[in-house]
Structure 1
Protein backbone atom coordinates (compact mmCIF):
# COMPACT_ATOMS: atom_id res chain seq x y z
CA UNK A 1 0.00 0.00 0.00
CA UNK A 2 1.35 3.41 -0.95
CA UNK A 3 1.15 5.78 2.02
CA UNK A 4 2.65 8.84 0.35
CA UNK A 5 -0.53 10.92 0.60
CA UNK A 6 -1.15 9.78 4.19
CA UNK A 7 2.22 11.35 5.13
CA UNK A 8 0.89 14.85 4.61
CA UNK A 9 3.28 17.57 3.45
CA UNK A 10 3.27 20.63 5.73
CA UNK A 11 4.79 23.58 3.88
CA UNK A 12 4.06 26.03 6.67
CA UNK A 13 6.64 24.35 8.89
CA UNK A 14 9.56 24.99 6.54
CA UNK A 15 11.84 27.92 7.29
CA UNK A 16 12.95 30.35 4.62
CA UNK A 17 16.32 29.26 3.17
CA UNK A 18 19.44 31.13 4.23
CA UNK A 19 20.20 34.18 2.06
CA UNK A 20 16.88 33.63 0.30
CA UNK A 21 15.93 36.04 -2.45
CA UNK A 22 12.50 35.62 -3.96
CA UNK A 23 12.79 35.32 -7.76
CA UNK A 24 10.84 37.31 -10.27
CA UNK A 25 8.65 34.66 -11.90
CA UNK A 26 8.64 34.87 -15.67
CA UNK A 27 5.81 33.98 -18.07
CA UNK A 28 7.61 30.85 -19.26
CA UNK A 29 9.23 29.69 -16.02
CA UNK A 30 10.96 26.29 -15.77
CA UNK A 31 12.55 24.55 -12.80
CA UNK A 32 15.41 22.06 -12.61
CA UNK A 33 16.09 20.32 -9.30
CA UNK A 34 19.51 18.76 -8.84
CA UNK A 35 21.27 20.70 -11.59
CA UNK A 36 24.75 19.38 -10.74
CA UNK A 37 27.41 21.33 -12.60
CA UNK A 38 24.73 22.90 -14.77
CA UNK A 39 25.30 21.20 -18.11
CA UNK A 40 21.62 20.72 -18.95
CA UNK A 41 20.64 24.07 -17.45
CA UNK A 42 23.06 26.00 -19.63
CA UNK A 43 22.15 24.00 -22.75
CA UNK A 44 18.46 24.66 -22.10
CA UNK A 45 18.95 28.38 -21.53
CA UNK A 46 21.06 28.77 -24.67
CA UNK A 47 18.58 26.81 -26.81
CA UNK A 48 15.49 28.58 -25.39
CA UNK A 49 16.16 32.31 -25.02
CA UNK A 50 12.42 32.96 -24.62
CA UNK A 51 12.17 30.67 -21.57
CA UNK A 52 13.51 31.23 -18.06
CA UNK A 53 15.06 28.41 -16.03
CA UNK A 54 15.68 28.29 -12.30
CA UNK A 55 18.23 25.54 -11.67
CA UNK A 56 18.77 24.40 -8.07
CA UNK A 57 21.79 22.51 -6.77
CA UNK A 58 22.34 21.67 -3.10
CA UNK A 59 25.96 20.47 -3.17
CA UNK A 60 28.34 23.40 -2.74
CA UNK A 61 31.20 22.04 -4.89
CA UNK A 62 28.93 21.29 -7.84
CA UNK A 63 27.08 24.57 -7.48
CA UNK A 64 30.27 26.63 -7.48
CA UNK A 65 31.33 25.09 -10.79
CA UNK A 66 27.86 25.66 -12.21
CA UNK A 67 27.62 29.27 -11.04
CA UNK A 68 31.05 30.18 -12.45
CA UNK A 69 30.24 28.68 -15.84
CA UNK A 70 26.82 30.31 -15.97
CA UNK A 71 28.32 33.70 -15.13
CA UNK A 72 30.85 33.33 -17.94
CA UNK A 73 28.02 32.68 -20.41
CA UNK A 74 26.00 35.71 -19.20
CA UNK A 75 22.69 33.95 -19.71
CA UNK A 76 19.92 36.34 -18.66
CA UNK A 77 17.33 33.57 -18.72
CA UNK A 78 19.11 31.27 -16.26
CA UNK A 79 19.13 31.60 -12.47
CA UNK A 80 21.48 29.28 -10.60
CA UNK A 81 20.39 28.67 -6.99
CA UNK A 82 22.37 27.04 -4.18
CA UNK A 83 19.73 25.65 -1.82
CA UNK A 84 17.76 22.69 -0.61
CA UNK A 85 15.03 22.53 -3.23
CA UNK A 86 12.07 21.73 -0.99
CA UNK A 87 12.03 24.83 1.27
CA UNK A 88 13.17 26.98 -1.63
CA UNK A 89 10.22 25.92 -3.80
CA UNK A 90 7.81 26.47 -0.90
CA UNK A 91 9.00 30.03 -0.30
CA UNK A 92 9.70 31.05 -3.89
CA UNK A 93 7.00 29.71 -6.19
CA UNK A 94 3.27 30.51 -6.34
CA UNK A 95 0.70 27.97 -7.54
CA UNK A 96 0.59 27.22 -11.27
CA UNK A 97 3.74 29.20 -12.04
CA UNK A 98 5.90 26.57 -13.76
CA UNK A 99 5.85 25.66 -17.44
CA UNK A 100 7.98 22.57 -16.87
CA UNK A 101 10.11 20.68 -14.33
CA UNK A 102 13.31 18.65 -14.82
CA UNK A 103 14.50 15.90 -12.47
CA UNK A 104 17.50 14.54 -14.34
CA UNK A 105 19.32 11.57 -12.79
CA UNK A 106 18.25 12.23 -9.19
CA UNK A 107 19.87 10.43 -6.28
CA UNK A 108 18.13 7.01 -6.22
CA UNK A 109 18.28 6.97 -2.40
CA UNK A 110 19.05 3.22 -2.24
CA UNK A 111 18.82 3.11 1.56
CA UNK A 112 15.68 5.23 1.89
CA UNK A 113 13.11 4.79 -0.88
CA UNK A 114 10.73 7.19 0.87
CA UNK A 115 13.09 10.02 -0.15
CA UNK A 116 12.66 9.40 -3.88
CA UNK A 117 10.78 12.30 -5.47
CA UNK A 118 7.52 10.57 -6.35
CA UNK A 119 7.46 8.83 -2.97
CA UNK A 120 7.61 12.10 -1.01
CA UNK A 121 4.51 14.02 0.10
CA UNK A 122 6.29 17.13 -1.26
CA UNK A 123 5.62 15.84 -4.77
CA UNK A 124 1.98 16.94 -4.50
CA UNK A 125 3.15 20.45 -3.65
CA UNK A 126 5.49 20.43 -6.63
CA UNK A 127 2.60 19.43 -8.90
CA UNK A 128 0.58 22.38 -7.52
CA UNK A 129 3.31 24.76 -8.73
CA UNK A 130 2.94 23.46 -12.31
CA UNK A 131 0.54 25.00 -14.78
CA UNK A 132 -2.11 22.71 -16.31
CA UNK A 133 -1.00 20.72 -19.36
CA UNK A 134 2.72 21.07 -18.64
CA UNK A 135 5.15 18.26 -17.94
CA UNK A 136 7.71 17.06 -15.44
CA UNK A 137 10.57 15.02 -16.89
CA UNK A 138 12.19 12.37 -14.68
CA UNK A 139 15.30 10.69 -16.11
CA UNK A 140 17.30 7.83 -14.57
CA UNK A 141 19.66 5.02 -15.50
CA UNK A 142 18.16 2.75 -12.84
CA UNK A 143 15.40 0.57 -14.21
CA UNK A 144 14.00 -0.24 -10.74
CA UNK A 145 13.67 3.48 -9.95
CA UNK A 146 11.99 4.05 -13.31
CA UNK A 147 9.48 1.22 -12.87
CA UNK A 148 8.71 2.28 -9.32
CA UNK A 149 8.04 5.86 -10.45
CA UNK A 150 5.59 4.60 -13.07
CA UNK A 151 3.82 2.47 -10.46
CA UNK A 152 3.64 5.22 -7.83
CA UNK A 153 2.34 7.72 -10.35
CA UNK A 154 -0.36 5.29 -11.44
CA UNK A 155 -1.41 4.56 -7.87
CA UNK A 156 -1.06 7.98 -6.27
CA UNK A 157 -0.52 11.00 -8.50
CA UNK A 158 -2.32 9.88 -11.66
CA UNK A 159 -0.58 12.28 -14.00
CA UNK A 160 -0.59 11.46 -17.69
CA UNK A 161 2.50 9.32 -18.23
CA UNK A 162 4.73 8.71 -21.24
CA UNK A 163 7.67 6.33 -20.70
CA UNK A 164 10.58 5.94 -23.11
CA UNK A 165 14.28 5.18 -23.41
CA UNK A 166 16.77 8.02 -23.75
CA UNK A 167 18.26 8.21 -27.28
CA UNK A 168 21.84 6.95 -27.50
CA UNK A 169 23.10 10.30 -28.77
CA UNK A 170 21.58 12.34 -25.94
CA UNK A 171 24.04 14.45 -23.92
CA UNK A 172 22.09 16.53 -21.42
CA UNK A 173 24.21 15.85 -18.32
CA UNK A 174 27.62 14.48 -17.43
CA UNK A 175 25.89 11.46 -15.90
CA UNK A 176 23.92 10.84 -19.09
CA UNK A 177 27.03 10.99 -21.27
CA UNK A 178 28.85 8.57 -18.95
CA UNK A 179 26.01 6.06 -18.70
CA UNK A 180 25.26 5.97 -22.42
CA UNK A 181 28.95 5.78 -23.33
CA UNK A 182 29.35 2.56 -21.35
CA UNK A 183 26.30 1.01 -22.97
CA UNK A 184 23.73 1.47 -20.22
CA UNK A 185 20.08 2.10 -20.97
CA UNK A 186 18.67 5.35 -19.57
CA UNK A 187 14.97 5.88 -19.04
CA UNK A 188 12.75 8.92 -19.01
CA UNK A 189 9.25 9.41 -17.68
CA UNK A 190 7.26 12.40 -18.88
CA UNK A 191 4.44 13.23 -16.48
CA UNK A 192 1.88 15.78 -17.67
CA UNK A 193 -0.57 17.57 -15.38
CA UNK A 194 -4.14 17.34 -16.74
CA UNK A 195 -6.20 20.47 -17.27
CA UNK A 196 -8.48 20.12 -14.24
CA UNK A 197 -6.05 18.38 -11.87
CA UNK A 198 -6.52 19.29 -8.20
CA UNK A 199 -4.10 19.24 -5.27
CA UNK A 200 -4.46 20.24 -1.62
CA UNK A 201 -2.06 23.14 -2.23
CA UNK A 202 -3.70 24.90 -5.17
CA UNK A 203 -4.54 27.92 -3.02
CA UNK A 204 -1.54 27.75 -0.68
CA UNK A 205 1.12 30.41 -1.17
CA UNK A 206 3.52 32.59 0.79
CA UNK A 207 3.66 35.09 -2.05
Structure 2
Protein backbone atom coordinates (compact mmCIF):
# COMPACT_ATOMS: atom_id res chain seq x y z
CA UNK A 1 0.00 0.00 0.00
CA UNK A 2 2.83 2.35 -0.80
CA UNK A 3 2.13 5.85 -2.05
CA UNK A 4 4.60 6.81 -4.77
CA UNK A 5 3.42 10.37 -5.29
CA UNK A 6 0.55 12.77 -4.91
CA UNK A 7 -0.90 11.75 -8.25
CA UNK A 8 -0.64 8.94 -10.71
CA UNK A 9 -1.76 5.33 -11.05
CA UNK A 10 0.11 4.15 -7.97
CA UNK A 11 -1.76 6.50 -5.66
CA UNK A 12 -3.44 4.40 -2.97
CA UNK A 13 -5.52 7.12 -1.36
CA UNK A 14 -7.69 10.10 -2.22
CA UNK A 15 -7.21 13.54 -0.74
CA UNK A 16 -9.52 13.99 2.25
CA UNK A 17 -9.63 17.78 2.30
CA UNK A 18 -10.95 20.48 0.01
CA UNK A 19 -8.58 23.19 -1.15
CA UNK A 20 -9.42 26.68 0.12
CA UNK A 21 -8.65 29.58 -2.16
CA UNK A 22 -8.52 33.23 -1.37
CA UNK A 23 -6.15 35.93 -0.24
CA UNK A 24 -4.53 35.58 3.14
CA UNK A 25 -5.22 38.37 5.57
CA UNK A 26 -2.54 40.76 6.74
CA UNK A 27 -2.83 39.24 10.21
CA UNK A 28 -2.23 35.73 8.86
CA UNK A 29 0.81 36.88 6.90
CA UNK A 30 2.17 38.69 9.94
CA UNK A 31 1.75 35.60 12.13
CA UNK A 32 3.36 33.34 9.53
CA UNK A 33 6.35 35.63 9.15
CA UNK A 34 6.78 35.95 12.90
CA UNK A 35 6.16 32.43 14.16
CA UNK A 36 6.60 29.90 11.34
CA UNK A 37 10.43 29.94 11.24
CA UNK A 38 10.68 28.75 14.85
CA UNK A 39 7.68 26.40 14.76
CA UNK A 40 7.96 24.66 11.39
CA UNK A 41 9.86 21.39 11.24
CA UNK A 42 12.61 21.25 8.59
CA UNK A 43 12.31 19.19 5.44
CA UNK A 44 13.24 15.54 5.58
CA UNK A 45 12.77 12.86 8.23
CA UNK A 46 11.97 14.30 11.63
CA UNK A 47 14.91 14.50 14.02
CA UNK A 48 13.02 14.93 17.27
CA UNK A 49 16.03 15.86 19.36
CA UNK A 50 17.11 18.52 16.88
CA UNK A 51 13.60 19.97 16.57
CA UNK A 52 12.35 19.78 20.16
CA UNK A 53 15.65 19.66 22.01
CA UNK A 54 14.82 16.31 23.58
CA UNK A 55 13.37 12.88 22.87
CA UNK A 56 9.97 12.63 24.55
CA UNK A 57 6.66 10.91 23.77
CA UNK A 58 5.64 12.35 20.40
CA UNK A 59 2.05 13.01 19.34
CA UNK A 60 0.91 13.91 15.83
CA UNK A 61 -2.37 15.78 15.35
CA UNK A 62 -3.96 15.60 11.93
CA UNK A 63 -6.02 18.62 10.90
CA UNK A 64 -5.34 20.85 13.89
CA UNK A 65 -7.71 23.66 12.89
CA UNK A 66 -7.11 26.67 15.12
CA UNK A 67 -5.11 24.55 17.53
CA UNK A 68 -7.29 24.48 20.64
CA UNK A 69 -6.83 20.73 21.18
CA UNK A 70 -3.13 20.78 20.31
CA UNK A 71 -2.39 23.60 22.74
CA UNK A 72 -4.50 22.03 25.49
CA UNK A 73 -2.64 18.74 25.07
CA UNK A 74 0.74 20.43 25.26
CA UNK A 75 -0.28 22.30 28.40
CA UNK A 76 -1.58 19.13 30.05
CA UNK A 77 1.48 17.11 28.98
CA UNK A 78 4.57 19.34 29.23
CA UNK A 79 6.73 16.21 29.15
CA UNK A 80 5.40 15.30 25.70
CA UNK A 81 5.97 16.86 22.26
CA UNK A 82 3.29 17.48 19.64
CA UNK A 83 3.50 17.95 15.89
CA UNK A 84 0.39 19.62 14.44
CA UNK A 85 -0.27 19.04 10.73
CA UNK A 86 -2.69 20.98 8.55
CA UNK A 87 -2.94 22.19 4.97
CA UNK A 88 -4.65 25.48 5.81
CA UNK A 89 -2.29 28.32 6.60
CA UNK A 90 -4.72 30.66 8.45
CA UNK A 91 -5.49 28.00 11.06
CA UNK A 92 -1.81 27.17 11.54
CA UNK A 93 -1.03 30.88 11.88
CA UNK A 94 -3.73 31.39 14.50
CA UNK A 95 -2.55 28.33 16.44
CA UNK A 96 1.08 29.48 16.44
CA UNK A 97 0.08 32.89 17.80
CA UNK A 98 -2.06 31.29 20.51
CA UNK A 99 0.74 28.88 21.45
CA UNK A 100 3.15 31.80 21.71
CA UNK A 101 0.75 33.75 23.93
CA UNK A 102 0.25 30.68 26.14
CA UNK A 103 3.98 30.04 26.47
CA UNK A 104 3.70 26.60 24.85
CA UNK A 105 7.05 25.52 23.46
CA UNK A 106 6.52 21.76 22.99
CA UNK A 107 4.43 22.32 19.86
CA UNK A 108 5.74 22.32 16.29
CA UNK A 109 3.92 22.44 12.96
CA UNK A 110 4.01 20.96 9.49
CA UNK A 111 2.11 22.64 6.65
CA UNK A 112 0.97 19.97 4.25
CA UNK A 113 -0.88 16.73 3.72
CA UNK A 114 -0.73 14.47 6.77
CA UNK A 115 -0.34 11.38 4.58
CA UNK A 116 2.95 12.67 3.21
CA UNK A 117 4.12 13.86 6.62
CA UNK A 118 3.46 10.40 8.06
CA UNK A 119 5.02 8.61 5.11
CA UNK A 120 8.10 10.74 4.50
CA UNK A 121 8.92 12.54 7.73
CA UNK A 122 7.81 10.40 10.67
CA UNK A 123 9.94 7.40 11.50
CA UNK A 124 8.27 3.99 11.92
CA UNK A 125 7.38 3.19 15.51
CA UNK A 126 8.13 6.71 16.76
CA UNK A 127 4.70 8.04 17.71
CA UNK A 128 3.06 7.87 21.12
CA UNK A 129 -0.33 8.86 19.71
CA UNK A 130 -2.15 10.20 16.66
CA UNK A 131 -5.10 12.58 17.08
CA UNK A 132 -7.85 13.11 14.51
CA UNK A 133 -10.49 15.44 15.91
CA UNK A 134 -13.59 16.41 13.93
CA UNK A 135 -12.32 15.55 10.46
CA UNK A 136 -14.36 16.41 7.39
CA UNK A 137 -17.07 13.70 7.44
CA UNK A 138 -17.77 13.65 3.70
CA UNK A 139 -21.31 12.42 4.48
CA UNK A 140 -22.48 11.57 0.96
CA UNK A 141 -21.98 7.97 -0.13
CA UNK A 142 -20.24 9.01 -3.33
CA UNK A 143 -17.66 10.91 -1.24
CA UNK A 144 -17.02 8.12 1.28
CA UNK A 145 -13.64 7.37 -0.29
CA UNK A 146 -12.49 10.87 0.75
CA UNK A 147 -12.83 10.18 4.47
CA UNK A 148 -9.42 10.26 6.08
CA UNK A 149 -9.86 6.99 7.95
CA UNK A 150 -9.31 4.17 5.47
CA UNK A 151 -7.50 0.86 5.19
CA UNK A 152 -4.51 2.70 3.75
CA UNK A 153 -4.26 5.42 6.40
CA UNK A 154 -4.80 2.96 9.25
CA UNK A 155 -1.92 0.85 7.95
CA UNK A 156 0.27 3.94 7.70
CA UNK A 157 -0.68 5.18 11.18
CA UNK A 158 -0.20 1.72 12.67
CA UNK A 159 3.31 1.55 11.21
CA UNK A 160 4.24 4.90 12.76
CA UNK A 161 2.83 4.21 16.22
CA UNK A 162 5.01 2.59 18.83
CA UNK A 163 3.63 -0.62 20.38
CA UNK A 164 0.84 0.48 22.69
CA UNK A 165 0.43 3.75 20.77
CA UNK A 166 -3.05 5.23 20.50
CA UNK A 167 -5.18 6.62 17.69
CA UNK A 168 -7.80 9.03 19.07
CA UNK A 169 -10.72 10.09 16.90
CA UNK A 170 -13.54 12.48 17.79
CA UNK A 171 -16.52 13.31 15.59
CA UNK A 172 -20.03 14.69 15.88
CA UNK A 173 -21.14 12.59 12.92
CA UNK A 174 -22.54 9.15 13.75
CA UNK A 175 -21.87 8.07 10.19
CA UNK A 176 -18.16 8.88 10.56
CA UNK A 177 -17.95 7.08 13.90
CA UNK A 178 -19.54 3.98 12.38
CA UNK A 179 -17.21 4.23 9.39
CA UNK A 180 -14.16 4.52 11.68
CA UNK A 181 -15.15 1.57 13.85
CA UNK A 182 -15.77 -0.61 10.80
CA UNK A 183 -12.39 0.35 9.31
CA UNK A 184 -10.59 -0.41 12.58
CA UNK A 185 -12.28 -3.80 12.83
CA UNK A 186 -11.47 -4.64 9.22
CA UNK A 187 -7.83 -3.60 9.66
CA UNK A 188 -7.33 -5.55 12.87
CA UNK A 189 -4.62 -5.11 15.48
CA UNK A 190 -6.46 -2.47 17.53
CA UNK A 191 -7.98 -2.52 21.01
CA UNK A 192 -10.90 -0.12 20.69
CA UNK A 193 -12.66 1.84 23.44
CA UNK A 194 -15.74 3.92 22.64
CA UNK A 195 -16.68 7.03 24.61
CA UNK A 196 -13.27 7.59 26.20
CA UNK A 197 -13.10 11.38 26.00
CA UNK A 198 -9.73 12.73 27.18
CA UNK A 199 -10.12 15.14 30.10
CA UNK A 200 -7.73 17.61 28.47
CA UNK A 201 -9.61 17.91 25.15
CA UNK A 202 -11.46 21.25 25.01
CA UNK A 203 -14.83 21.84 23.42
CA UNK A 204 -13.93 23.59 20.17
CA UNK A 205 -16.01 25.26 17.49
CA UNK A 206 -16.84 22.13 15.51
CA UNK A 207 -17.96 20.32 18.64
CA UNK A 208 -20.09 23.25 19.80
CA UNK A 209 -21.79 23.38 16.41
CA UNK A 210 -22.50 19.66 16.60
CA UNK A 211 -23.95 19.93 20.10
CA UNK A 212 -26.05 22.95 19.10
CA UNK A 213 -27.44 20.89 16.22
CA UNK A 214 -28.38 18.09 18.63
CA UNK A 215 -25.68 15.66 17.54
CA UNK A 216 -23.88 13.35 19.96
CA UNK A 217 -20.10 13.50 20.24
CA UNK A 218 -18.31 10.22 19.54
CA UNK A 219 -14.86 9.64 21.04
CA UNK A 220 -12.96 6.59 19.84
CA UNK A 221 -9.65 5.42 21.29
CA UNK A 222 -7.82 2.65 19.43
CA UNK A 223 -4.65 1.23 20.95
CA UNK A 224 -2.20 -0.58 18.72
CA UNK A 225 -1.96 -4.14 20.03
Q: TM tier, shorter chain?
A: 0.7 to 0.9
The residue aligned with 1:122 is: 153
Q: From 7, 10, 13, give the equivalent of 2:2.
A: 10
Q: Which secondary structure state, in structure 1, belongs to the residue aligned with residue 127 of structure 2? A: coil
Find the residue that maps to 1:135 and give its secondary structure: strand
**Is it true that 1:132 corresponds to 2:166 in the alignment?**
no
Q: What is aligned with 2:124?
A: 95
Aligned runs of 1:47-196 on 2, under 5 Å? 47-111=76-140, 112-164=143-195, 171-194=202-225
1:5 paired residue number: none
Cα gap change, 1:193/1:22 in structure 2, threshold over 3 Å: closer, same or farther? same
TM-score (norm 2): 0.72
The 8 Å contact of residues 119 and 152 in structure 1, kept in 2 or not, is answered as yes
Bigger shift: residues 146-155 or 179-188: 179-188
Q: Residue 138 of structure 2 contacts residue 144 of structure 2 at CA under 8 Å; is this kept in 1?
A: yes
Give the counterpart of 2:63 among 34, 39, 56.
34
Q: In the superposition, relative to structure 1, how do residues 39 and 49 fare at CA in structure 2: closer, same or farther (>3 Å)?
A: same
Aligned residues: 182
Asked whether the 8 Å contact 1:170–1:177 carries over to 2, the reply is no
8 Å contact from structure 1 (residues 28, 99) kept in 2: yes
Gaps of 5+ in 1: 1-8, 195-207
**What's the CA shift for 1:24?**
2.8
- Normalised TM-score (structure 1): 0.78
Q: CA RMSD in A?
A: 2.4
- Asked if the contact 1:36/1:62 (under 8 Å) is kept, the reply is yes
The Cα of 1:170 is off from its aligned counterpart by 6.3
Bigger RCO of structures 1 and 2 (CA < 8 A, at least 6 apart): 1
Higher helix share: 2
Determine if contact 1:99/1:134 at 8 Å carries over to the other structure.
yes
The Cα shift of 1:89 comes to 1.7
SS of equivalent residue, structure 1 residue 94: coil
